[in-house]
Structure 1
Amino acid sequence: MPVILKLLTATFFTCLSLAAYGEKLRIVTEPWAPYVYDDNGTMRGLDYETTVIVFQRLGVDVEWQFLPWKRCLNMLEQGHADGALDIFHSHERDALLLYPSEPLSEVEFVLFYANERPHPAQTLEELRNLTVGTSPGYLYGAQFSESSLFHREPAPTHEANFGKLMLGRIDLLVTDRRVAQHVIKALGLEGKVSQAPIVISRQQQFLAVRRGAGMDLLVQRFAAELKRFKHEPAYTALSAKYGGIQTAAEPITLPERTVEQQESSAP
């Protein structure tokens, strides 16, 4: 049997199995605008809308749930969720999760500081004895996460991190560049927060699912359809709608005034 026919057949039976039990694929994620977020009761975002289209083409019904990122990870580990949207690849989770070969997007973690208390760091050494706001469960890379030069202080929400920054309770916070553009406008922090020059890390975001019967082939089909969709005009339009797609080779520019938020996935 040709390989493509095998994949199609396996995916069909995986979807049929879910349907037979009246079940949907349970996907959890944390709001992470502009990748995925709740807009007055309507789910939107570049990665969310892309995933919805891909699963529709595969004939897979999905049940979505927004939760704090650490709870998303716990639900995966406990088997209460089938997958997570916008999660980083981690070898520590390879025994639990399957990742498509095609990523949904790429994030670039950078630092932000309050203009009243500037810390325009260009290296980690310049963060010595400072406190950086982080998000629980996020992976920022070993060099940042394991450094003893500075302190890391988690906050329960992105908004809480920004509040702490403006109150001077932390010196900087770390988050994705594109998310920052969205948050600056939402929180009205134009002119009050700036981005430091240093780039902490760049990481790809995936739709990952728990290992299980037929899931490996479903992941392969998802990757193939995602890659196909990315070459279509519809994806180009979707990308433009949410600020465009940058690659690691392309610098992502922001106005001098900038703020930020988000959580890295394990992701």
Structure 2
Amino acid sequence: MPLFHRQLIVALLFACLSLAAQAQPLRIVSEAWPPYIHDDNGVLRGLDYEAAHTVLQRLGVEVEWQLLPWRRCLMAMEQGQADGILDIFHTPEREASMLFPHEPLSQVELVLFYAKANPHPFHSLKDLHGLKIGVSAGYWYSDRAFRESELFTRESAPSHAANFGKLVRKRVDLVINDRRGGHFVLAQTGLDKHVRQHPRVISRDQMYLGLRRDAGFEELARRFANELLRFKREPAYAALQARYQNPAHARPAARPADKTANH
């Protein structure tokens, strides 16, 4: 068989797989993490959720959303129980099993939070010697020195809110979280008066919509990235960002969201 014919058959096969994969609703999982995605009395909201929801709606893609603990999100992707995962970091290790659209949803700054009643000075990693740091189970931290350091111990919690609860009860000495996300969680839980943030940024990273590599979503990843970039240039996206700039303004005035939060 000529090479051209073989290439054409392969291309058609991938196209058929992609169409078959998209015949059913796209199953996307994520962990509740305001202001990026969270359940507000049965309605999903959040900066990245609403951006992704808008883009996928424009692309004509039907979606089933589900909020799960982060490790269960990763497991759902590994076992083929989910087609996509919202707000995941792009790492070389994950490229083997996931597609990452070239346009990120958000950028995060990971910082350390401390309890006002139990402050710990922090200027460099050596200041963390002997301390217990609250981390998020299954999260990947891009700063290699922090990720691999043996100066301190790590203790995970089932949720971001649980991590901050342990912080004020002195069960951990510090908590690492995204600067913006951490302040939103603190405001939601009423702990913002008891917790402060160290100014030094541990690492900066970008969050993406990850798609299963073995499900024929290459074309969807490309179209999603292009439409997301187009949406980011519109006034509607600027308004969306402004709405989630401050914890006090987290709740939208209008309904841009989807009542499909499943726990």
* TM-score band w.r.t. shorter chain: 0.7 to 0.9
Do the aligned partners of 2:33 and 2:160 also contact (CA within 8 Å) in 1? no
Amino acid at match of 2:107: E
Match of 2:197 among 192, 195, 202: 195
For 1:113, the equivalent position in structure 2 comes to 114
Do the aligned partners of 1:29 and 1:66 also contact (CA within 8 Å) in 2? yes
Amino acid at match of 2:42: G
Distance 1:189 1:163 in 2: 8
For 1:163, the equivalent position in structure 2 comes to 165
For 1:130, the equivalent position in structure 2 comes to 131
For 1:83, the equivalent position in structure 2 comes to 84
1:52-74 per-residue CA deviation (whole Å, 9 max, x = no partner) reads 11111111111111100000000
Distance 1:175 1:144 in 2: 13
The normalised TM-score by structure 2 is: 0.84
For 2:100, the equivalent position in structure 1 comes to 99
1:122-147 per-residue CA deviation (whole Å, 9 max, x = no partner) reads 21111111110001111112221110
1:2-26 per-residue CA deviation (whole Å, 9 max, x = no partner) reads xxxxxxx999977753464xx1111
Amino acid at match of 2:49: Y
For 2:228, the equivalent position in structure 1 comes to 226
Distance 1:241 1:57 in 2: 21
Do the aligned partners of 2:87 and 2:208 also contact (CA within 8 Å) in 1? yes
**Closer/same/farther in 2, CA of residues 195 and 237 from structure 1, 3 Å limit:** same
**TM-superposed deviation, 1:218:** 1.1
The normalised TM-score by structure 1 is: 0.83
Amino acid at match of 1:17: A
Distance 1:168 1:213 in 2: 45
For 1:175, the equivalent position in structure 2 comes to 177
**TM-superposed deviation, 1:181:** 2.1
Distance 2:37 2:173 in 1: 27
Distance 1:182 1:235 in 2: 20
Do the aligned partners of 1:11 and 1:217 also contact (CA within 8 Å) in 2? no
Distance 2:165 2:14 in 1: 46
For 1:21-32, list aligned pairs within 5 A. Answer: 23-32=24-33
Do the aligned partners of 1:184 and 1:190 also contact (CA within 8 Å) in 2? yes
Do the aligned partners of 1:34 and 1:46 also contact (CA within 8 Å) in 2? yes
Identify unmatched segments of 5+ residues in structure 1.
Answer: 1-8, 245-267
For 1:47-62, list aligned pairs within 5 A. Answer: 47-62=48-63
**Closer/same/farther in 2, CA of residues 213 and 28 from structure 1, 3 Å limit:** closer
1:172-221 per-residue CA deviation (whole Å, 9 max, x = no partner) reads 00001111221222122233111113211111000010013531111011
Amino acid at match of 2:230: R
> Per the alignment, in what secondary structure is the counterpart of residue 32 of structure 2?
coil
> Per the alignment, in what secondary structure is the counterpart of residue 197 of structure 1?
strand
What is the CA RMSD across the aligned residues, in angstroms?
Answer: 2.0
Distance 2:221 2:87 in 1: 15
For 1:240, the equivalent position in structure 2 comes to 242
> Per the alignment, in what secondary structure is the counterpart of residue 214 of structure 2?
coil
**Closer/same/farther in 2, CA of residues 65 and 107 from structure 1, 3 Å limit:** same
Identify unmatched segments of 5+ residues in structure 2.
Answer: 1-11, 247-263
Distance 1:230 1:11 in 2: 30
Q: Which segment drifts farther, 192-201 or 127-136? A: 192-201
